[in-house]
Amino acid sequence: PTALPDLLREVADSAQASAPPEVVVRIDAAASAAMQVFADTNQLRRALQNLAHNAVQACCEVSDGRERRVTLSCTTEGTKVIIRVSDTGPCRLASVMSQYLHPFVTIKPPSAGTGLGLSLSDDVITKGHCGTRSVESREGEGTTFVIQ
């Protein structure tokens, strides 16, 4: 089993270490210390690292004075475990986010990414672990990737 709070802390620490000082990466305290899932820990770690890294990059685009924050959280609903990776970066419309899940599709400059991170994360979540992924975006508030 994979202990989600420990994994989220590891991913948050890694993301914070690579983030500029104005971006804060935090864990939502609602995560239960006993929350565990049966998963390939290394694959799940990589998927979450990709999402957290993208969230940090999105926060770097904030220019309107809003707080630059990335939040990782996990909760349960019945028997489902829900992981969220949220950022306060520019809103990306959920309706167009699906195009960024294809390999080599990116909105970043060529030197900033390959366009593989979201695609690989999506494969790990949906194909490797039979999970689901959705995107929630709110203008002026940011974007949240929801994994179940």
Say if residues 104 and 96 touch (Cβ distance below 8 Å). Answer: no
Q: How far is CA 132 from CA 91, 115, 120, in A?
A: 21, 20, 14
Sorted by sequence, the CB contacts under 8 Å of residue 134 that are 6+ apart come out as 94, 145, 146
pLDDT for 96? 58
pLDDT for 139? 76
pLDDT for 100? 61
pLDDT for 66? 85
pLDDT for 82? 92
Q: Which segments in the chain show pLDDT lower than 70?
A: 29-34, 92-117, 119, 124, 128-129
The two three-digit tokens of residue 145, written as one number: 């990737």
The DSSP secondary-structure symbol of 49 reads: H
The burial class, CB within 10 Å (0-12 / 13-18 / 19+), for 65 is exposed
